[in-house]
Amino acid sequence: MLGVRRKIVAGGSSLLTSGRSFQWTRPAVSAWRSYSSAAKEMTVRDALNSALDEEMSADPKVFLMGEEVGEYQGAYKISKGLLDKYGPERVLDTPITEAGFTGIGVGAAYYGLRPVVEFMTFNFSMQAIDHIINSAAKSNYMSAGQISVPIVFRGPNGAAAGVGAQHSQCYAAWFAACPGLKVLAPYSSEDARGLLKAAIRDPDPVVFLENELLYGESFPVSAEVLDSSFCLPIGKAKIEKAGKDVTITAFSKMVGYALKAAEILTKEGISAEVINLRSIRPLDRPTINDSVRKTNRLVTVEEGFPQHGVGAEICTSIVEESFGYLDAPVERIAGADVPMPYAANLERLAVPQVEDIVRAAKRACYRSMPLAAAA
C-alpha cells in the first residue's frame, strides 16, 4: 500500500513499521464532563493538529493520507509537522484522485490499520462516495460483524467564502442518512480535539465535518482538554448556554451564530438555551427533547439545504416524542434552497445569519408578527 510495510501482530492486526517493533498502550478515555476552567486559548487548527499528533504517537496503526498533507503540511496546515515527525510511511501525499486514495484507505482499514483520510473539501468526497457508503459504511453489517472498518474521513465542510456552488455544500444530512456511518461536526477547539480523538479510536467509519472558517478561531481550553487522555463521547450534545424560553439547536459554525443570537435575545428578555449538537449521527435526541420539554419551543439552525435536512430530523423527533410540550410551531433556519451563489451579496443571503435566528426565536416566543401574517 503506497510503499507502506506491514508487521503482523497478535490477533492478525497490522502495524505500519519502519523496521522496528512497537509497543502501544491506549490512554484511558476520560469520562465526559463539562469543563469550565480555561487555562489558555487554542485555535481549532491547533486542536486538530494536536489530536492527530497524539493519536499517531499512541497507536502506530494510525496514519494520515490525502492531497498535500505531507510536504505542503496540509492545504489548511492541519497536518503541520507530522511528516517530519512520522515520516512518509505514515503521512502519505496522494495524487488528486479521491476515488483512488479513499479506496486504498478503506482497504487498509479492512486489514486492521486506522487510516485518517483527508479531503481538501467534502465536496470532493463525492468522487469517493461509493467507497464511503458501499464499502466503509455497510461492510460491518454485511459481514455479520466480522469486518470492522476503523477509518476517519475528515476535512472542511459547508460554505467558506466566495468559492461557488461546487465548493460550498454542507454534507451533514447526506452522510447522516446512512446507517453504518457516524457523523461528527465540531464547533470549538474542545470539540475538535475531543471528537477527533474519539473518531480515530472508534471501530466504525466516522465522517468528521470541519469548517474552513473556524480553523483560525481561538477558543478557551482547560488543562483537562489538553491532557492526552481527553476524549469526548460520540453521540452526546453539549448545552453551550442554559435557558428557559426557547431551545436553539445548531452544529459547526452555526453554534457561534446561535450564541450571538442568544446574547441579543437576552437583552430583549428572552432566555435561549443553545445546544451544540456535536454529533449528527448518532443524534442526542434525549438532550434535545429534555430541553424542549423545559422551554416548550424549538428553533433549529443549519447551513445546509432545508429539504431533508438535519433540522427536519430534529423537528420530527420533537413531534414524535415531545409534541404535547410545544407551545409554538417549531422554527427551521437553513440555507437557501439553491446552489450557492458566487456573488458575495447573494452568498450572504443564501446562508443563515444571526438576525435570522433572532427573528425565528422571537416568532416562537410570540414577540413578533408571524411570517404568514406579515405576508
Residue 305 domain-assigned (yes or no):
yes
Say if CB 44 and CB 217 are below 8 A apart.
yes
pLDDT of residue 230: 96
- Kind and range of the H or E element at 287? helix 285-295
| C-alpha dihedral, 7 to 80 to 195 to 228, nearest 10° | 70
| 218 plus 303 within the same structural domain | no
Task: State pLDDT tens for residues 230-242.
Answer: 999 999 999 999 9
- Percent of the chain whose predicted confidence (pLDDT) is above 70: 88
Active site residue 308: no
Active site residue 131: no
| Position 47 pLDDT exceeds 60 | yes
- pLDDT band of 161, cuts 50, 70, 90: confident
Among residues 191, 226, 261, the one where a domain terminates is 226
| 200 plus 258 within the same structural domain | no
| 178 plus 198 within the same structural domain | yes
Query: For the chain, what is the domain count?
Result: 2
By residue range, what is the domain housing residue 339?
Answer: 238-365
CATH number reported for the structural domain that contains residue 100 in this entry: 3.40.50.970
**Mean pLDDT along residues 299-303:** 98
DSSP string, 85-154: HH-TTTEEE--S-HHHHHHHHHHHHHTT-EEEEEPSSGGGGGGGHHIIIIIIITHHHHTTT------EEE
pLDDT of residue 368: 74
- Percent of the chain whose predicted confidence (pLDDT) is above 90: 85
User: One of 98, 190, 331, 347 is an active-site residue; which one?
Assistant: 98
| Position 269 pLDDT exceeds 60 | yes
| 128 plus 244 within the same structural domain | no
Structure letter (DSSP) for residue 70: S
- pLDDT band of 323, cuts 50, 70, 90: very high
pLDDT of residue 39: 63
Among residues 226, 257, 278, the one where a domain terminates is 226
Which of 167, 165, 148 is closest to 157 using CA atoms? 167
| Position 372 pLDDT exceeds 60 | no
Grid cell listed for 72:
505542503
The count of other CB atoms within 10 Å of the CB of residue 127 is 15
Residue 29 domain-assigned (yes or no):
no
| 196 plus 313 within the same structural domain | no
| 214 plus 351 within the same structural domain | no
Residue 117 domain-assigned (yes or no):
yes
Task: State pLDDT tens for residues 172-217.
Answer: 999 999 999 999 999 999 999 999 999 999 999 999 999 999 999 9
| Position 300 pLDDT exceeds 80 | yes
pLDDT of residue 20: 35
User: One of 68, 89, 167, 217 is an active-site residue; which one?
Assistant: 167
Burial 5-41, CB ≥16 within 10 A → b, else e: ebeebeeeebbbbeeeeeeeeebeebeeeeeeeeeee
Please tell me the distance from the alpha carbon of residue 176 to that of residue 308, in angstroms, as a whole number.
11
Say if CB 252 and CB 303 are below 8 A apart.
yes
Say if CB 341 and CB 155 are below 8 A apart.
no
pLDDT of residue 13: 38
- pLDDT band of 68, cuts 50, 70, 90: very high
